[in-house]
């Protein structure tokens, strides 16, 4: 067993049952002209964590542990995109519209790809998901069961939307979940802080948090 010096208390795990889930580090959220920008967000905050997420991914690669990358995107015919999602609010462009990185949030378009610095390597899993949570309408649950995974480390964007939703889904399914707090980011710094606070409050009601250095120290 190994231990990460986490908050609100130590996170103890068997590396044979640990996996990394990297949520939605896609050009559509991180680069100008994509889905995140159409919603009116400043995307520069998110690009700043790319090197730190890369360090966490390398730590798992070196340890030989499973890595799962997710991408929020929809089928080209939008059959998996509820109108409630596409039509909400007044974005500058909607899901499926043609943008500077291809159609917004559509599978196979350049914008839906993971940023090149964090591209998946052979043997790593890439899961496309239509929702904010990575368990909804995907085989993630079956994949983790098949690999006998019980403990999960999370990274990616955005902290309070897809990362927190997926952590809550995982927590309800019985996984022990830890968020790498410097390998996640929000368009709203105050939302990132609040999400981290609420995850680890009440005796880790949703899960633990730790820095990438703390995770790496345990896996070395
Ligand atoms: N991946 C993810 O978090 N999807 C979002 O739409 N996030 C926003 O913060 N908008």
Per-residue pLDDT in tens (0 to 9) along the chain, 220 residues: 999 999 999 999 999 999 999 999 999 999 999 999 999 999 999 999 999 999 999 999 999 999 999 999 999 999 999 999 999 999 999 999 999 999 999 999 999 999 999 999 999 999 999 999 999 999 999 999 999 999 999 999 999 999 999 999 999 999 999 999 999 999 999 999 999 999 999 999 999 999 999 999 999 9
Alpha carbon distance 95, 86 (integer Å): 6
Closest ligand 1 atom, residue 72 Cα: 1
Q: How much is the pTM?
A: 0.98
Q: Is residue 162 in contact with ligand 1, taking CB distance under 6 Å? A: yes
Reported for 140-148, long-range contacts at CB under 8 A and 24+ positions apart, including other chains, are 140/68, 140/70, 141/173, 143/68, 144/19, 144/175, 147/19, 147/66, 148/16, 148/17
Asked about 162 being catalytic, the answer comes back as: yes
Q: Sign (positive/negative) of CA torsion 127, 172, 16, 154? A: positive
Q: Is residue 185 in contact with ligand 1, taking CB distance under 6 Å? A: no
């Amino acid at each position: 067993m190994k231990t990460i010096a986490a908050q609100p208390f130590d996170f103890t795990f068997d590396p044979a049952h640990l996996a990394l889930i990297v949520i939605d580090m896609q050009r559509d959220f991180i680069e100008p002209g994509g889905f995140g920008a159409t919603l009116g967000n400043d995307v520069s905050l998110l690009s700043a964590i790319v090197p730190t997420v890369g360090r966490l991914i390398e730590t798992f690669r070196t340890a030989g542990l499973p890595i799962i990358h997710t991408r929020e995107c929809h089928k080209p015919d939008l059959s998996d995109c509820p109108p409630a999602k596409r039509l909400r609010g007044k974005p500058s462009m909607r899901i499926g519209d043609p943008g500077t990185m291809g159609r917004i949030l559509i599978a196979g378009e350049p914008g839906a790809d993971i940023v090149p610095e964090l591209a998946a390597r052979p043997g790593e899993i890439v899961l496309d998901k239509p929702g904010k949570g990575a368990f909804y309408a995907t085989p993630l649950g079956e994949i983790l069961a098949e690999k006998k995974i019980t403990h999960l480390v999370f990274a990616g964007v955005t902290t309070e939307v897809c990362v927190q939703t997926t952590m809550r889904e995982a927590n309800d399914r019985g996984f022990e979940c830890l968020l790498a707090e410097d390998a996640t980011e929000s368009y709203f710094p105050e939302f990132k802080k609040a999400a981290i606070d609420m995850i680890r409050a009440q005796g880790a009601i949703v899960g633990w948090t730790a820095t990438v250095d703390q995770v790496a120290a345990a896996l070395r």
